[in-house]
C-alpha cells in the first residue's frame, strides 16, 4: 500500500515535468504546425537561467587574506559576495539561498526573448516546409544550444539547491494515518507538482477565458478563416510560441533542485515528451497533460522491485510499450482530434 | 671479336636491372627498420591522447588532457619538470623521448566505445601515434585496449576502474595505473565495518555496464566477508537521470546501508535523490541509515555539493596526500604545484593517472632504448617505482595492473575552500589490496603476446 502511494507521488513530479514540456510542444504544434525538437533545449535553458542567476548573485569581491593560505601555499583569496556587502551578510545569504524561486522572475523575460528570437529568426522560415525539415532544423538548433551551454558551464551537473526551508522531506505516511516513516516525500517535489498544476491551469485559463486565447483557439481550428476575418493570426501564434518557451523554461527552473542541471537534460526529457504528445493526441492540450501524468506514474510503477522481478527491464520500455498499445488501439492518441497530422 | 650492340631495348633492360640492384639494399634496410608500427623516423614522436571531450565525462576528459599537455611539456624539458624530479627512475632527461621531441594529437571518445575506437584508429593510422592513452570509462578502455592490441601500439589506460580492464579483457599491449573495483572493495570494507559495524544490511543500486557489475561484486564480496548482509541489488540504466523510483523501494526495505555503484552524473543524481528522500535522516533496525559511494572523484563531489558530506568512498590518489600523510607520497606536491600554477586549481585523480601514465611510458621507452611496443612491454612488466605520488608501486607482469596504496575518503563536513571537498580517512596499504592474478574476480582473461604491429 505504502509502496503504491509512494510510486504515485513519484510519478506525479516526473509527470509534471513531462506534462509541462508536452503542453508547450503541443501548443506549438497546434498553432504553428511545427514539430519543435528544440523544446527540450528550452527546458534546459530555463534550468540554466537558475544556474546563471545563482552565479550572478554569488559574484564576489576578492580580497587577499595573508594569514590564510590557498592550496599552493600562496595567500588565500577570500571572496565576499557583493550581495553580502550591499544587503548585509544575513539578507545577502538569504537572497543567494532563494536564487531558484527568484529565477522565475529572471527566466520569464529571457525565455520570452529566446522564444521570439527562435520563432522569428529560424522557425518561421520552415512553416511551409515538410515536417522532416522542421524536425531536422529544430533538432540541430537543440544541439547548438546544448553545446553553447556546455562550453560556458561545463559538462558536469551543477548543484542548484532549493532554499533550506524546502530542502528536507516530510512524513506523508504519518499525515494520512499510516506508519510513521513509511512514506517520506521531499517538499520540493510537492512544490514542483503544485507549481506545474498552477502553470497548466494558467495556460488553460488564458486560452479559455481571454479574447487573445479565443482567437488563438479559433486559429488552431481554422487558420485561414480567422485570417480572412482580418486578424493577424501569425503575430498571435508567435506570442504563443514565446509563451510555450516560457512554460518549458519555468519547468526547467523549478526542476533544478530535483536533479542538478547539466547541458544534456533537455534531450533526456525531449524524447519522452514527444511520446507523451503522441499518446495524448497531437494538438490536444488536455491529452498532453493527461498523458504526461499517466506516463510519469506508469514509469514509476515499472521501477518497483516487485514489477522488475516479474518483468526485468520493463522500467526502460514501459513508456514506449504504452505508446505502441495506445497507437494501435487509438491511432489519434488518447484525446486526439480528427484531421490533425492526417493529411 | 666481340661486338657491342647498343639497342634502345637493351639499354632500358640494363637500366631497369641496375636500378633494381641499387634499390635492393634500401628495400631490405627499410624492411629491417620497420619492425614495428609507426616507428618514429624523424626528430619527433607522436602520442595519442584519447579522452572524452564531449558527453557526460567531458570535464574529467578536459582535466586529463590538461595533465597530458603538462606531461608533454615536462618531457620536452619545458616548465618545472613536475614529477620527473621526484620519479625514482632517472632515465628521462627532459629532451623528449630518446632525443625525439614529443608531439601529441588528441581525440574525443565521447564516452562511447565505438567513437573511442574510431578516434584511436584515426590517431594510429593517420597521425602515426606510437602510443594511445586516456579514457574515463571502463567500457571505452576495454574497447580501445583491444584495438591497440590488434593494431600493435601500446595502450596506457586512463581512468578505468572495472576489474575487466586487467581481468578478463586484459591485453599484452595494455597497462593500467589506476586502481580497480577489487581494490576499492578490499580497502573500503574494513573501514566501513569499523565505522558502521559488522551487522548491517546493504541495498545496491548499480550502473548497468561492466564497471557497475565488477564494482558491485567486489564491494559485496568484501563487505559480506565482514558480516554484512545483502538485501537487494538493482541495476539502473546509464541514461537514468531521476532515481526517485529506485530510491523509494530502498525506503520500503529493511536495509540500513545504500551502496551507490554510480559514477559521474549518475552518482550526482542518485545521491541527490537519496538525500532528498530523507534516507540519511532515517533510523532503521535501531541504526542510522548510511550511504556509501565506492568510487569517488573530486569532480563528482563538486557536482553533489552538500549531499556528499560524510559519505565514504575510495580514490586512486588525492592532491592532499603528501601534505597530510608525509613523504611516502612524494611527487604529489610537485605535481600539484606544477598543475596548480599552470591551471589555477588542483588536479583531479583523472589528471594524475593520465600524467603518470605518460611519464611511465616515456620512461619505459628510454630504459628499453626503443619505441618497439614489445620492448616497452618488457620494460614495464614487473617495473617497481616510486615518487609519482602513490608511494612505492609495482606494475605487475602477470596482468599489467599497478599495485599501490588505496586512499579511503569521505566527503568533508566543513570544507575550507571549493577544492577541499574530500577528506582522507586512511590509506590502505598495498598488501591489503593485492590479489593473485588468477583471482576469481579477474578470471577468464589472458594477456596473450605483445603485438608490435608490423
Out of A56-60, A170-174, B334-338, the most confident range is B334-338
Average pLDDT over residues B321-350: 95
Give me the long-range contacts of B341-344 (CB less than 8 A, separation at least 24).
B341/A72, B341/B80, B342/B66, B342/B70, B342/B79, B343/B66
Give mean pLDDT, residues B12-32.
48
**H-helix or E-strand containing B284?**
strand B283-284
pLDDT, tens only, A145-167? 999 998 899 877 888 888 988 88
Q: Where are the alpha helices (DSSP H) in A154-264?
A: 172-175, 187-209, 211-221, 223-228, 233-255
Query: What's the average model confidence in pLDDT over B306-319?
Result: 93
| Statement to judge: residues B344 and B268 lie in one domain | no
**A104: closest CA of chain B, how far (Å):** 22
**Contact: B303, A159; criterion CB under 8 Å:** yes
Residue B219 pLDDT = 95
Compare all CA atoms of chain B with the CA of A14 and give the residue at the minimum distance.
B242
B5: confidence class by pLDDT, cuts 50, 70, 90: low
Q: Which residue is closest to B269 within chain A, CA to CA?
A: A259
Q: Report which of residues B259 and A35 the model is more confident about.
A: B259
**Does one domain contain both B204 and B154?**
no
Cell numbers at residue B239, please? 541514461
* C-alpha distances in Å from residue B309, one per residue of B197, B272, B362, B416: 20, 12, 39, 13
Q: What is the pLDDT at residue A283?
A: 76
Assess whether B345 and B302 both reside in one domain. Answer: no
Mean pLDDT value of segment A206-234: 88
Q: Give the start-end residues of each E strand in chain A.
A: 60-69, 75-81, 169-171, 184-186
Mean pLDDT, rounded, for B348-358: 96
Cβ neighbours of residue B202 closer than 8 Å, sequence gap 6 or more: B220, B223, B228, B229, B230, B231, B255, B257, B258, B259, B292
* Cβ-based contacts of B411 with chain A (< 8 Å): none
User: Considering only CB atoms, which chain B residues are within 8 Å of A303?
Assistant: 245-246, 249
- The CATH number for B386's domain is 3.40.50.2300
Cα angle B413, B418, B423; round to 5: 40
Q: What pLDDT digit, counting tens, does each position of A298-326 carry?
A: 988 887 777 878 888 787 888 899 999 99
Residue B37 belongs to some domain of the structure: no
Please report the pLDDT score of residue B14 as a whole number. 52
Mean pLDDT, residues A15-29: 89
* pLDDT 10s digits, B60-90: 899 999 999 999 999 999 999 999 999 999 9
Q: Residue B73: what pLDDT?
A: 97
> What was the pLDDT predicted at B29?
42
Give a yes or no: residue A340 inside a domain: no
Q: Which of B59, B246, B336 lies nearest to residue A156, judging by beta carbons?
A: B59
What does the angle CA A154 – CA B237 – CA B156 come to, to the nearest 5 degrees?
Answer: 60
Cross-chain Cβ contact A156/B302 below 8 Å: yes
Higher-scoring residue by pLDDT: B218, A283: B218
Q: Give dist(CA B319, CA B314) in Å, integer.
A: 14
Q: A234 at the B interface (CB within 8 A)?
A: no
Tell me, what's the pLDDT at B26? 42
CB-based contact A159 B305, cutoff 8 Å? yes
B110 and B57 assigned to the same domain = yes
Cβ–Cβ under 8 Å, residues B165 and B141:
yes
Residue B255 lies in a domain: yes
- Does B319 contact A156 at a Cβ distance shorter than 8 Å? no
pLDDT tens-digit series, residues B108-134: 998 889 999 999 999 999 999 999 999
Judge contact between B265 and A262, C-beta under 8 A. yes
Residue A138, phi then psi, degrees to nearest 5: -75, -35
| Average pLDDT of chain B, as a whole number | 90
Q: How confident is the model at residue B237 (pLDDT cuts 50, 70, 90)?
A: confident
Which tens digit of pLDDT belongs to each residue from B243-265? Answer: 888 888 888 888 999 999 998 77
Which residues on B lie below 8 Å from A161 (Cβ)?
Answer: 305-306
Within-domain flag for A18: yes
Least confident range of B96-105, B188-197, B243-252, B373-382: B243-252
- pLDDT given for residue B2 in this prediction: 46
Residue A342 lies in a domain: no
Whether residue A343 has pLDDT greater than 60: no
- Strand partners of residue B230: B202
pLDDT over threshold 60, residue B12: no
Coarse DSSP helix, strand, coil percentages of chain B, rounded to the nearest 5 percent: 45, 20, 35
Furthest-apart CA atoms within chain B: distance in Å: 119
d(CA A105, CA A99): 10
| ipTM topping 0.85 | no
Cβ–Cβ contact A157 with B under 8 A:
yes
Segments forming the whole domain that contains residue A96: 2-329
A228 found inside a domain: yes
Whether the predicted pLDDT of B17 surpasses 60: no
Residue B350, domain extent: 44-179+325-400
Number of domains in chain A: 1
Does the structure show a pLDDT above 70 at B21?
no
Residue B274 near residue B280, CB atoms below 8 Å: yes
Residue B292 φ/ψ, nearest 5 degrees? -125, 140
B419 to B299, B358, B412: CA distances (angstroms)? 9, 25, 11
Q: Could you tell me if B197 and B169 lie in one domain?
A: no
> Measured between CA atoms, how close is A214 to chain B, in angstroms?
38
Tell me if A341 is assigned to some domain: no
Stronger pLDDT, B294 or A340, i.e. the higher one: B294
Q: Would the CB atoms of A188 and B305 count as touching at under 8 Å?
A: no
- b/e sequence A136-165, b meaning 16+ C-beta within 10 Å: ebbbebbeebbeebbeebbbbbbbbbbbee
pLDDT at site B350:
94
CB contact under 8 A, A6 and B252: yes
Q: Specify whether B66 is located in the same domain as B169.
A: yes
Say whether both B186 and B241 belong to one domain: yes
- Quote the pLDDT of residue B178: 97
Answer whether A304 sits within 8 Å of B264, measured CB to CB: no
Picking from B108, B237, B241 by the largest number of A CB atoms within 10 A of its own CB, the best residue to mutate is B241
pLDDT computed for residue A250 by the predictor: 95
Task: Give mean pLDDT, residues B93-119.
Answer: 93
Partner-chain contact A155 B55, CB within 8 Å: yes
Position A106 in a domain: yes
Question: From CA A170, how far away is CA A184, in angstroms rounded?
Answer: 6
Nearest to B229 by CA among B248, B253, B211, B209: B253
Q: Is the confidence at residue A198, as pLDDT, over 90?
A: yes
Q: What is the tally of structural domains in chain B?
A: 2
A:201-230 residues touching chain B, CB 8 A cutoff: none
Does residue B159 sit within a domain? Answer: yes
> Does one domain contain both B294 and B338?
no
B283 plus B333 within the same structural domain: no
Q: What is the pLDDT of residue B32?
A: 42
Q: What is the pLDDT of residue A178?
A: 80
Quick check: B249 and A260 CB within 8 A?
Answer: no
Domain contains B337? yes
Taking the C-alpha atoms of residue B208 and residue B139, their distance in angstroms, rounded to an integer, is: 11
Q: Check CB contact under 8 Å for A3 and B252.
A: yes
CA distance B253 to B251: 6
For residue range A226-244, list pLDDT tens digits in order: 888 888 888 888 999 999 9
pLDDT of B37 strictly over 80: yes
* A338 inside domain: no
Nearest CA in chain B to A317: B237
List chain B residues with CB under 8 Å of A181.
282
Cross-chain Cβ contact A186/B246 below 8 Å = no
- Residue B190 and residue B283 share a domain: yes
**Do B263 and B170 have their domain in common?**
no
- Both B252 and B365 in one domain: the answer is no
Instruction: List, in order, residues 6 or more apart from B181 with CB less than 8 Å away.
Output: B161, B162, B163, B211, B214, B215, B217, B218, B219, B294, B441
Amino acid at each position: 500500500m505504502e509502496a503504491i502511494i509512494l510510486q504515485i507521488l513519484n510519478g506525479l513530479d516526473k509527470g509534471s515535468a513531462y506534462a509541462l514540456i508536452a503542453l508547450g510542444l503541443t501548443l506549438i504544434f497546434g498553432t504553428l504546425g511545427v514539430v519543435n525538437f528544440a523544446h527540450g533545449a528550452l527546458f534546459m535553458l530555463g534550468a540554466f537561467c537558475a544556474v546563471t542567476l545563482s552565479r550572478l548573485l554569488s559574484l564576489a569581491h576578492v580580497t587577499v587574506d595573508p594569514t590564510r593560505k590557498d592550496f599552493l601555499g600562496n595567500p588565500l583569496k577570500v571572496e565576499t559576495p557583493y550581495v553580502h556587502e550591499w544587503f548585509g551578510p544575513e539578507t545577502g545569504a538569504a537572497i543567494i539561498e532563494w536564487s531558484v524561486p527568484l529565477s522565475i522572475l529572471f527566466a520569464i523575460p529571457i525565455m520570452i526573448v529566446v522564444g521570439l528570437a527562435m520563432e522569428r529568426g529560424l522557425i518561421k522560415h520552415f512553416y511551409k516546409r515538410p515536417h522532416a525539415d522542421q524536425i531536422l532544423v529544430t533538432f540541430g538548433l537543440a544541439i547548438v544550444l546544448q553545446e553553447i551551454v556546455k562550453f560556458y558551464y561545463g559538462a558536469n551537473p551543477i548543484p542548484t539547491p532549493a532554499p533550506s526551508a524546502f530542502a528536507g522531506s516530510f512524513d506523508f505516511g504519518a499525515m494520512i494515518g499510516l506508519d510513521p516513516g513509511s512514506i517520506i516525500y521531499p517538499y520540493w517535489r510537492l512544490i514542483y507538482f503544485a507549481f506545474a498544476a498552477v502553470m497548466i491551469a494558467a495556460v488553460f485559463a488564458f486560452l479559455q477565458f481571454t479574447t487573445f486565447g479565443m482567437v488563438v483557439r479559433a486559429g488552431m481550428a481554422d487558420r485561414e478563416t480567422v485570417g480572412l476575418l482580418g486578424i493577424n493570426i501569425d503575430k498571435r501564434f508567435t506570442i504563443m510560441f514565446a509563451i510555450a518557451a516560457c512554460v518549458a523554461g519555468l519547468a526547467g527552473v523549478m526542476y533544478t533542485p530535483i536533479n542538478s542541471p547539466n547541458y544534456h537534460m533537455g534531450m533526456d526529457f525531449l524524447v519522452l515528451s514527444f511520446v507523451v504528445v503522441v499518446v495524448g493526441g497531437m494538438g490536444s492540450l488536455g491529452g498532453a497533460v493527461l498523458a504526461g501524468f499517466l506516463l510519469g506514474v506508469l514509469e514509476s510503477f515499472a521501477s518497483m522491485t516487485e514489477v522488475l522481478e516479474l518483468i526485468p527491464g520493463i522500467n526502460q520500455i514501459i513508456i514506449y510499450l504504452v505508446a505502441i498499445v495506445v497507437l494501435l488501439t487509438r491511432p489519434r492518441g488518447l484525446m486526439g482530434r480528427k484531421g490533425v497530422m492526417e493529411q | 671479336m666481340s661486338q657491342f650492340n647498343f639497342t634502345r631495348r637493351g639499354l632500358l633492360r640494363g637500366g631497369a636491372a641496375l636500378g633494381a640492384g641499387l634499390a635492393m639494399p634500401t628495400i631490405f634496410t627499410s624492411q629491417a627498420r620497420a619492425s614495428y608500427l609507426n616507428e618514429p623516423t624523424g626528430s619527433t614522436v607522436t602520442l595519442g591522447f584519447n579522452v572524452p571531450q564531449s558527453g557526460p565525462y567531458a570535464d574529467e576528459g578536459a582535466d586529463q588532457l590538461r595533465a597530458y599537455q603538462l606531461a608533454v611539456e615536462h618531457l620536452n624539458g619545458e616548465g618545472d619538470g613536475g614529477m620527473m624530479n621526484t620519479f625514482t627512475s632517472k632515465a628521462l632527461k627532459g629532451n623528449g623521448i630518446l632525443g625525439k621531441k614529443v608531439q601529441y594529437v588528441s581525440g574525443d571518445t565521447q564516452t562511447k566505445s565505438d567513437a573511442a575506437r574510431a578516434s584511436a584508429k584515426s590517431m594510429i593510422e593517420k597521425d602515426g601515434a606510437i602510443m594511445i592513452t586516456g579514457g574515463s570509462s571502463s567500457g571505452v578502455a576495454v574497447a580501445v585496449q583491444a584495438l591497440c592490441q590488434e593494431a600493435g601500439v601500446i595502450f596506457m589506460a586512463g581512468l578505468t576502474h572495472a576489474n575487466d580492464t586487467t581481468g578478463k579483457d586484459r591485453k599484452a599491449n595494455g597497462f593500467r595505473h589506476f586502481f580497480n573495483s577489487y581494490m576499492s572493495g578490499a580497502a573500503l570494507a574494513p573501514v566501513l565495518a569499523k565505522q558502521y559495524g559488522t551487522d548491517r544490511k546493504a541495498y545496491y543500486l548499480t550502473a548497468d555496464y561492466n564497471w557497475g557489475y565488477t564494482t558491485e561484486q567486489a564491494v559485496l564480496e568484501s563487505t559480506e566477508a565482514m558480516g554484512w548482509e545483502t538485501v537487494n541489488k538493482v541495476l539502473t540504466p546509464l541514461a537514468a537521470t531521476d532515481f526517485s523510483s529506485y530510491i523509494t523501494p530502498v525506503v520500503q526495505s529493511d536495509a540500513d546501508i545504500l551502496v551507490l555503484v554510480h559514477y559521474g552524473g549518475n552518482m550526482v543524481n542518485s545521491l541527490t535523490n537519496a538525500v532528498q528522500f530523507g534516507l540519511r535522516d532515517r533510523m532503521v533496525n535501531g541504526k542510522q541509515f548510511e550511504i556509501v559511494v565506492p568510487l569517488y572523484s573530486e569532480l563528482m563531489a563538486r557536482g553533489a555539493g552538500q549531499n556528499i558530506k560524510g559519505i565514504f568512498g575510495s580514490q586512486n590518489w588525492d592532491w592532499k596526500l603528501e601534505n597530510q600523510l608525509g613523504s611516502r607520497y612524494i611527487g604529489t606536491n610537485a605535481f600539484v604545484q606544477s598543475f596548480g600554477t599552470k591551471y589555477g586549481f588542483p588536479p583531479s585523480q583523472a589528471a594524475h593517472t593520465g600524467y603518470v601514465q605518460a611519464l611511465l611510458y616515456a620512461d619505459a621507452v628510454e630504459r628499453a632504448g626503443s619505441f618497439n611496443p614489445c620492448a616497452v612491454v618488457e620494460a614495464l612488466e614487473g617495473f617497481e617505482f616510486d615518487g609519482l605520488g602513490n608511494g612505492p608501486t609495482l606494475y605487475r607482469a602477470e596482468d599489467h595492473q599497478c599495485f599501490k596504496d588505496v586512499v579511503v575518503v569521505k566527503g568533508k563536513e566543513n570544507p575550507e575552500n571549493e577544492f577541499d571537498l574530500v577528506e582522507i580517512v586512511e590509506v590502505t596499504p598495498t598488501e591489503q589490496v593485492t590479489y593473485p592474478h588468477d583471482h576469481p574476480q579477474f578470471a577468464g582473461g589472458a594477456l596473450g603476446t605483445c603485438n608490435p604491429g608490423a
